[in-house]
Amino acid sequence: MEAPRRRSLVGNNRKGSKRALTEMNKDDDRVKAANEEFNDVEVWNTLSNGFKRAQLVLDQNRDLLQRVNDNHLSRIPENVSRNVGLINEINGNISRVMKIYTDLAVDFAKNFEAAKSGDTTATTSGSYGCGQSSCGS
């Protein structure tokens, strides 16, 4: 009687290990792709929200400039004297817009660098110069 043939456990495990590693790599690639997609969406939402906030402030400035122009054209001393306060508010709004754009640029650069290095934990500041109650949301 012939002895039963023993199967090589090493050979079978290698094939199974290769298959398992291939599946694990595919899963890792899927997770990486999902994280990248999530980060892309997060970055675009962050940019979009920042631009919307900046636009709100710029719209406020347009209205303030129209009021300044109307006051100037009226040539009524009381109206013209109100322009000082309106112009100060416009200057403050310009500073807010600059802060919003600066924060957006910094956040975008951080996210870009994080994406290049594979870091998925980068976060955004989210404030975009809107610490004041007159920001609007």
Higher pLDDT, 95 or 26: 95
Structure token digits, residue 39: 């980060």
Q: How far apart are the C-alpha atoms of 28 and 32, rounded to whole Å?
A: 6
Higher pLDDT, 34 or 19: 19
Q: Please determine, for residue 8, whether its predicted confidence score (pLDDT) is greater than 50.
A: no
Contact predicate 111/124, CB 8 Å: yes
What's the confidence (pLDDT) of residue 101?
97
pLDDT tens digits, residue range 26-83? 666 655 554 555 567 888 888 999 999 999 999 999 999 999 999 999 999 999 999 9
Higher pLDDT, 31 or 24: 24
